[in-house]
Amino acid sequence: MSGALTDTIVAPATPVGRSALAIVRIDGPLSGAILSALGCNPLPEERRATFVRLRNGDELLDECVAIRYVGPRSFTGNDLVELTLHGNPLLVQRMVSAAVSHGARMAEPGEFTERALLNGKMDLVQAEAVADLINARTPLQAKLSLMNLGGSLSVTAAALREKLLYVISRLEAALDFSEEGYTFIERDELISQLDSSLLDVQRLRDTFERGAASLRGLEAVIVGRPNAGKSTLLNRLVGSERSIVTPVAGTTRDIIRETIELGGLPVTLSDTAGLRESDDVVESIGIERAREAARRADIVLQLIDATSPEEEVLESSACVIRVFTKVDLSPAPAGELGISVPTEHGIEDLLERLDALVRERFAAPEGSAVLVNERQRISVTDAQTALEAARVSVIESCGEEIVLVDLHRAANALAALTGAISHNDVITEIFTKFCIGK
Ligand SMILES: Nc1nc2c(ncn2[C@@H]2O[C@H](COP(=O)(O)OP(=O)(O)OP(=O)(O)O)[C@@H](O)[C@H]2O)c(=O)[nH]1
Ligand SMILES: [Mg+2]
């Protein structure tokens, strides 16, 4: 990725396919000149949607609506043109080629957002939130990404950093005037300030598991003995005959995956081979895959046939929900959750249990700052480690210089979170995950 802001880039901003409309974006110093070269003369007023017939030489490209943004008042902060075309990939392709023939180059993935970042229109957390928002599959995921796009996490990180910088400035003053014997911050106050900052940082750090799980979605694996009713339950939960159901024990071998929404998150359900000792090579592989899926899952639905209750021992750190099946034929033991797919008995209960589990254990809280990816977690963990070191130095009565080194480290880690201090490779890594045109 170039990172240069001086050239002009072009890309479709909407997916390839037929639709009512499609958008082509041109960003950079030549964007206005390209619009003009395509026959839009005079150029439209800034930020005013204007109907234009664009041509490349004699060839009519399309009838479209052009909006011209003049930097810095644009998404990227540069001069930017957005063309709304008819939604046909051929028209889009011709428009992009025409822009290239007039001096633009094809944009790299995420390059428009990267420009917005480099021009200070947004910070790193917000840029990440743009990608997360585009990838959101449930309303809750979209809400979470919109919060971060709106600056919820950035503002929290900045406030934490401000608090540290205040302590740093007082310690530095103490250092500058140490000869005069002034005290700018008492030891007890310093410790209580550090404790308070540590608590804030830990709280933020603790949002990571839920934040990451919420964006990633969850894995729920259905396991149990052959014929326990696993495939029947999967089909009921996804609402279609996804898995083969027969009275033959050992019907399912491959893992069958289907995603549904539970507790506001996308949850991928896996139907697996029934667990038993088997001499059949194919079935054995299926059983090993089932055990492996259960080991990696967030949630395990362990199905037990109520007509012949046998339970397999499972190796999994997941949340396990035990469900007795076929309760139309034989009742579940007292206090256990029982279901019957033909009569619908217990299905609502099971869905409610799953919904509650996802909300209580995995879903990020709405309305507060949440860490959602590994990069963010590392920054906050670095800040936490540095603050802990600073606290130890104060307790051990080390000099201000020593304490200051760690406090600066903590403040820098918080700055890195929003990208106020960042390395090019971090930025490149983030934008390669974007789609072209964003
Ligand atoms: N009466 C009754 N029969 C059920 C119920 N659930 C499943 N069955 C029957 O039990 C048999 C096995 O069901 P499956 O869903 O294929 O069981 P499975 O656990 O996927 O079995 P494998 O793939 O062989 O491991 C089928 O004949 C189903 O119709 C239920 O709730 N009540
Ligand atoms: Mg099955």
**pLDDT tens for the 438 residues of the chain, in order:** 444 568 999 999 999 999 999 999 999 999 999 999 999 999 999 999 999 999 999 999 999 999 999 999 999 999 999 999 999 999 999 999 999 999 999 999 899 999 999 999 999 999 999 999 999 999 999 999 999 999 999 999 999 999 999 999 888 887 777 666 656 678 888 999 999 999 999 999 999 999 999 999 999 999 999 999 999 999 999 999 999 999 999 999 999 999 999 999 999 999 999 999 999 999 999 999 999 999 999 999 999 999 998 877 788 889 999 999 999 999 999 999 999 999 999 999 999 999 999 999 999 988 889 999 999 999 999 999 999 999 999 999 888 889 999 999 999 999 999 887 666 666 676 677 677 777
Are the CB atoms for 209 and 223 separated by under 8 Å?
A: no
pLDDT of residue 185: 76
Are the CB atoms for 321 and 349 separated by under 8 Å?
A: no
pLDDT of residue 314: 81
Alpha carbon of 335 to ligand 1 centroid (Å):
23
Ligand nearest to the CA of 287: 1
Alpha carbon of 287 to ligand 2 centroid (Å):
11
Residue nearest to atom 2 of ligand 1 (CA): 326
Pocket perturbation via mutation, ligand 1, pick of 221, 227, 256, 343 by most ligand atoms within 8 A of CB: 227
pLDDT of residue 182: 59
Residue nearest to atom 16 of ligand 1 (CA): 245
| Residue the block writes with tokens 């000869």 | 179
Candidates 352, 350, 319; CA nearest to 234 is: 350
- The whole-angstrom separation of Cα 297 and Cα 310 is 22
Cα torsion at 319, 325, 331, 332 (round to 10°)? -10
Candidates 90, 88, 86, 108; CA nearest to 10 is: 108
Alpha carbon of 410 to ligand 2 centroid (Å):
53
Alpha carbon of 255 to ligand 1 centroid (Å):
16
Q: Look at strands 319-325 and 299-305 and give their pairing.
A: parallel
Q: Look at strands 50-56 and 59-69 and give their pairing.
A: antiparallel
pLDDT of residue 399: 82
> Cβ < 6 Å from ligand 1: which residues?
224, 226-232, 245-247, 249-252, 273-274, 325-326, 328-329, 340-342
For ligand 1, what atom is nearest to the CA of residue 340?
31
Residue nearest to atom 7 of ligand 1 (CA): 229
Identify how many contiguous H helices and E strands the chain contains and give both numbers.
14, 12
| Residue the block writes with tokens 């802990």 | 388
Alpha carbon of 417 to ligand 1 centroid (Å):
50
Q: Both ends of the chain: CA-CA distance in Å?
A: 14
Residue nearest to atom 3 of ligand 1 (CA): 326
pLDDT of residue 181: 61
**DSSP-derived 3-state class of residue 420:** coil
pLDDT of residue 5: 67
Pocket perturbation via mutation, ligand 1, pick of 221, 231, 232 by most ligand atoms within 8 A of CB: 232
Structure tokens at 157: 């990180």
pTM more than 0.75: yes
Alpha carbon of 230 to ligand 1 centroid (Å):
7
Alpha carbon of 228 to ligand 1 centroid (Å):
6
Q: Other C-beta atoms within 10 Å of 388: how many?
A: 16
